Amino acid sequence: MSKFLKGTFILLIAGLITRVLGFINRIVIARSIGEEGVGLYMMAYPTFILVVTLTQMGLPVAISKNIAEAEAKGNYAEIKKILVVSLAITISLSLIFTPALILLAPYLSTTLFTDERTYYPLVAIAPVIPVIAISSVLRGYFQGRQNMRPSAVSQVIEQLMRITLIAVLTQAFLPYGVEYAAAAAMVAAVAGEIVSLIYLMTAFKMKKRFKLRKNFFQFVQSGKNTFKELMEIALPTMGSRMIGSVSWFFEPIVVAHSLALAGVAAAAATKQYGALTGFAMPLLLLPSFVTYSLATSLVPAISEANSQNNKQLIEHRLQQALRFAFLTGGLSVIVLYVLADPLMELMYGSSKGSHFIRLMAPFFLFYYYQGPLQAVLQALNLARAAMINSLIGAVVKTAVIFALASQAAFGINGVALGIMVGFVLVTILHFATVLKKISFTFYIRDYVSGFVIMGASAWIGYWLFEHILIGEHLVVRVLTSASGMSVVYIILLILTGLIKREELKRIPIIRAIFA
């Protein structure tokens, strides 16, 4: 198995575990603090992501790419210089932005979010910024060496620690008010990131080929060229992520003011936004652990192929990534669309937000493509183009949200429509940019077959849930229906050749069965 496939497989397993644990987190939060508490949590979270994006400065992708190229040449002195310069940058920035977030929290909560209770989650999450800054550098190092195991394990550890604390802390602080419970959920996230960083530092210390602290400042002073090379990748990448982060930062602000124009009170707007972003969106984003794994593995793999000018290998790896994203995303779409109401009922004790899933699920196939496409653009030194595409999508999304959500006829549904328009547009623009750089064969028959299989599998699942399993417990009905859809879907994929026997043999567990 190649480094690319092995790394992707490790991240997929870890991503699946992390997503399951993350769902447990969200279920506990939702049942503990309700829609309003989730709304406060989700209103504060985009601000935190914006500050983290500023602190990371796009360096994780640049580190991964440059270390992959340096290791291909056996230049370990350059690898150390990349690490030292990156750590100096991120630590310095975190020392600026952490106190800035704490000082600005009162203004943000009262003026921009129109709900002063968001102050407490904002202050609670601020201390984790330097922790994430250092973790991101170490993850970039391991990913550049195409060793995905430490990054994968650290994600699982972080979620386990968060789960351990979240139920206890939210219940302890809920009597003081829902805003304190939302802040407690943020504190649990801080603790998880700290434990994750401790693991990454231990893994780095065990596997490093040089002493990082030795002559640290001398390496910083002599790292001018390294800094310049990192910034050539990092700044456009940060620009792209900044656009997404700024857009997400303004999203709850635009939503709050738009819904106010539509006649929705602030508390009701917080609840509606919580149902959309805290209940429905996590389910829709479930397959993103697949696209994240593919994107993370693609950057060093495509960079390596590009440095060798191997265009055929670049297309082959992109085809692999997109087909995998389509097939896994397709299964997720049909399961979520058919079982939207019972899934929400089982997970959150309420079906509120299920109509968002049915409205948005079919269009999320575009979103599942976005990560791999952006990774390829970054690896091909087209991060600037990716940034421009993201800017266009963010502007259009914000405009559509304001135009629709401010009308009483649309309300919160206008927010969902705006989000969909944004990511569909960005994905199309990314794909068009990739086509300008490399040749790409579009297999129409495979996609037509895929959509037909999705339709057939969805019908089987609906038929099982609505007609065969009437009278059974809801958990049994959901699990049986989802399993039936999955089995039919996979069998049809194999029969039509969309999943090949040779590809199945590359998966360790299935390879043992074939053997």
**Cβ–Cβ under 8 Å, residues 307 and 69:** yes
pLDDT at 189: 84
Determine if residue 34 is left, alpha or beta; phi over 0 gives left, psi from -120 to 50 gives alpha, anything else beta.
left
pLDDT at 114: 66
In sequence order, the 6+-apart residues with CB closer than 8 A to the CB of 390 are 240, 241, 243, 244, 426
End-to-end alpha carbon distance in the chain: 16
Q: What is the pLDDT of residues 114-162, one digit of tens each?
A: 678 888 888 888 888 889 888 888 888 887 777 778 877 888 888 888 8
* Residue recorded with tokens 């059974």: 472
* Mean pLDDT (whole number) for 226-255: 77
**Residue 230: count of CB within 10 angstroms of its CB:** 24
Q: What is the pLDDT of residues 47-105, one digit of tens each?
A: 878 888 888 877 887 888 788 877 777 777 778 888 888 888 888 888 898 898 889 88
Q: What is the pLDDT of residues 207-221, one digit of tens each?
A: 666 566 666 666 566
Q: Which of 51-60, 287-296, 480-489 has the lowest mean pLDDT?
A: 287-296
Q: What is the pLDDT of residues 353-376, one digit of tens each?
A: 788 999 999 898 898 888 888 888
**Residue 369: count of CB within 10 angstroms of its CB:** 23
Q: Model confidence at 7, in pLDDT bands (50, 70, 90)?
A: low
pLDDT at 471: 66
* Residue recorded with tokens 């210390």: 205
Q: State the average pLDDT for the chain.
A: 81
Task: Work out the percent of the chain whose per-residue pLDDT is above 90.
Answer: 10
98-102, 305-309, 323-327: which has the highest mean pLDDT?
Answer: 98-102
